[in-house]
Structure formats: C-alpha cells, structure tokens
C-alpha cells in the first residue's frame, strides 16, 4: 500500500457563505458579508485501482461568520463578526479518467470532511447571540478539474470544489433564540502531487 501512496501540496482560494436559521417570531437574521480566504495543506492519495484513489490530507483554513440581527420592523439589534481557524481532514474518493489528450486527465472528487476548530475570535459585543462555536464540524465535498502531468512523477491539478456543511457550528446563550449556522464555501483548487 505504501508504494501506491502519492503526496502533494494544496493551495485553494475560497469564498464562504453562511446558511443561518433562527427560531424566533420577533427576530430576523441577515448575512452580512461573504469572505474570501485561502486554504493550504498537504494531500495524500492512495491508489487502489488505476483510476480510483482514496484521498485524504490535512488542511488549514480560516472562516468568517458575519451577520446582522434585526428585531421587529427590521430594527438592528446586533452585528456580530467571528473569525475562526480550522484544521480539516478530508476523506474522499477521487476518480481519474483515462487521458483526454496528451498527459491530461479529468478528475472528480466526492466525499466528506471533518473540521477541527483551533481558534475563535469575536467582536465581543455586549449583546452577542453566539456563545461559542463547536469544536468539530462535518461536511460534504464535491469537485473536479484537470490533471496535467509535467514530469515523470509530478502532476499538477487545477479544479473547483463545493464544500457544504452538514452540522450546526454554533451554540447560543440560553436567554437568546436558537441559531443554526452552517458555513459553506466554494473553492478554486490548485494541487501539486509528487
């Protein structure tokens, strides 16, 4: 199995958006801003067939959660901004096509990922709704792109991926309405595999 393991590096530009749901008849939530960030990490692909790989690794990436809470008649109550840092472990199936032209192949990825929070910062407003963010989150990933061979054992990949959160990432104070926040993001991915 070790001889079938291929290691690489990853850099991705991400655009995140948050799905926010609140249980309240007197409160509405508006997402404040999308955020452009970068993800970096290492990738490990394990071949179990010519065109099939188990793909995993370790990624570092920051997220931003920002929203405005409005009361009755859209009266602003609070604006909250959180910056979060995560280590992510993807667990994916990678499918690689046969050559579509000289040294070029298509690839597709589908799988899940686990996010482990390593840092959390907030704007510390006196009436914050969010108490804290959970330490572990889960999500799905779907992506694809082009593989280009540039040397005997060196490949570059350029593609795109969509990452959809499955779990609610936030907990609220007991005297506040219940929030559900799921942070999704779209990424432009660049990989180098050795």
pLDDT tens digits, 36-55 = 999 999 999 999 888 999 99
Please count the other Cβ atoms lying within 10 Å of the Cβ belonging to residue 185: 23
Q: What is the pLDDT of residue 123?
A: 65
The whole-number average pLDDT for the span 96-120 is 96
Which residue from 163, 65, 55 is spatially nearest to 115, judged by alpha carbons? 163
Q: What is the pLDDT of residue 171?
A: 82
Burial of residue 84 (CB within 10 Å: 0-12, 13-18, 19+) is buried
What share of the chain has pLDDT > 90, as a percent?
A: 59
Q: What is the pLDDT of residue 70?
A: 81
Q: What is the pLDDT of residue 142?
A: 98
pLDDT range class, residue 8, cuts 50, 70, 90: very high
Which residue from 33, 75, 39, 36 is spatially nearest to 57, judged by alpha carbons? 39
Return the domain boundaries, the chain: 2-193
Q: What is the pLDDT of residue 71?
A: 78
The whole-number average pLDDT for the span 73-86 is 83
pLDDT range class, residue 1, cuts 50, 70, 90: very low
Q: What is the pLDDT of residue 64?
A: 87
CATH number for domain 2-193, candidates 3.40.50.720, 2.40.160.40, 2.40.160.20, 3.90.580.10:
2.40.160.20
Q: What is the pLDDT of residue 75?
A: 75
Q: How far apart are CA 65 and CA 120, in angstroms?
A: 11
The whole-number average pLDDT for the span 83-99 is 96
């Amino acid at each position: 199995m070790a001889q079938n393991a291929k290691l690489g590096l990853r850099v991705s530009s991400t655009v995140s958006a948050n799905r926010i749901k609140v249980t309240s008849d007197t409160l509405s939530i508006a997402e404040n801003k999308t955020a452009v960030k970068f993800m970096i990490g290492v990738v490990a692909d394990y071949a179990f067939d010519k065109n099939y790989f188990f793909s995993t690794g370790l990624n570092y990436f920051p997220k931003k959660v920002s929203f405005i809470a409005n009361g009755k008649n859209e009266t602003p109550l609070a604006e909250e901004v959180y910056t979060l840092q995560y280590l992510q472990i993807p667990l994916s199936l990678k499918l690689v096509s046969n050559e579509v032209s000289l040294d070029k192949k298509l690839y597709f990825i589908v799988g899940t990922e686990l996010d482990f929070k390593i840092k959390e910062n907030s704007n510390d407003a006196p009436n914050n709704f969010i108490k804290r963010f959970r330490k572990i989150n889960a999500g799905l990933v779907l992506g694809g792109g082009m593989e280009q061979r540039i040397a005997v054992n060196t490949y570059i990949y350029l593609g795109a991926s969509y990452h959809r959160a499955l779990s609610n990432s936030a907990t609220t104070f007991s005297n506040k309405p219940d929030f559900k926040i799921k942070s999704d993001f779209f990424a432009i991915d660049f990989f180098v595999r050795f």
